[in-house]
Amino acid sequence: MSDIVGGCLCGNIRYRCDEEPMMVGVCHCKNCQKQTSTSFSVLVAVPKGSLKIEGALSTYNDQGSSGQAVMRKFCGQCGSPIMSDVEAIPNMDFLKAGTLDDTSWLKPEVQFWCDSAQSWLKLDDAIAQIAQNPPME
């Protein structure tokens, strides 16, 4: 059982999820680089609505490449990105895995937006690489 428990840097936001993750992935898109101010997001996809969140999240209404909404939710006090609600993928919420209390179980299975990965980064060939977004059904 994966331990999906975590929170922001200042402790204002705490969350837990009792469901198993649907996917663990890495996103190299430019917007994730900007929002996290680092090289990529590590994302744990959980069933929509399964996150139990304490504390009030702030939201930045971003847009995906499709033009659909990406609601990036973060702690308004310390700025930690917590999760994204992606209109194009209505059955999942995407947790920013850097905020997990225990990250030891994380094993990303896929990387998105490898086209915009930072040039110094050596992408792990053992993890599937997708140039841009995953194809959506």
For 105, the 3-state DSSP assignment is coil
CB of 9 vs Zn ion, minimal distance in Å: 5
Which of 4, 6, 8, 89 binds Zn ion (CB under 5 A)? It is 8
Is there binding between residue 78 and Zn ion (CB under 5 A)? yes
Write out the binding residues for Zn ion, residues 17-76 only, by CB under 5 A: 27, 29, 32, 75
CB of 1 vs Zn ion, minimal distance in Å: 26
* Ramachandran area for residue 105 (φ above 0: left; ψ -120 to 50: alpha; else beta): alpha
CB of 31 vs Zn ion, minimal distance in Å: 6
Question: 97 near 109, Cβ under 8 Å?
Answer: no
C-alpha–C-alpha distance, residues 20 and 132, integer Å: 26
Spatial neighbors of 110 by CB under 8 A, at least 6 apart, are 23, 25, 26, 127, 128, 129, 130, 134
CB of 21 or CB of 81, closer to Zn ion: 81
C-alpha–C-alpha distance, residues 30 and 48, integer Å: 24
CB of 44 vs Zn ion, minimal distance in Å: 14
116: phi then psi, degrees, rounded to nearest 5 = -110, 20
Is there binding between residue 77 and Zn ion (CB under 5 A)? yes
CB of 10 or CB of 131, closer to Zn ion: 10
CB of 70 vs Zn ion, minimal distance in Å: 8
Which positions lie near Zn ion, rule CB under 5 A?
Answer: 8, 10, 12, 27, 29, 32, 75, 77-78
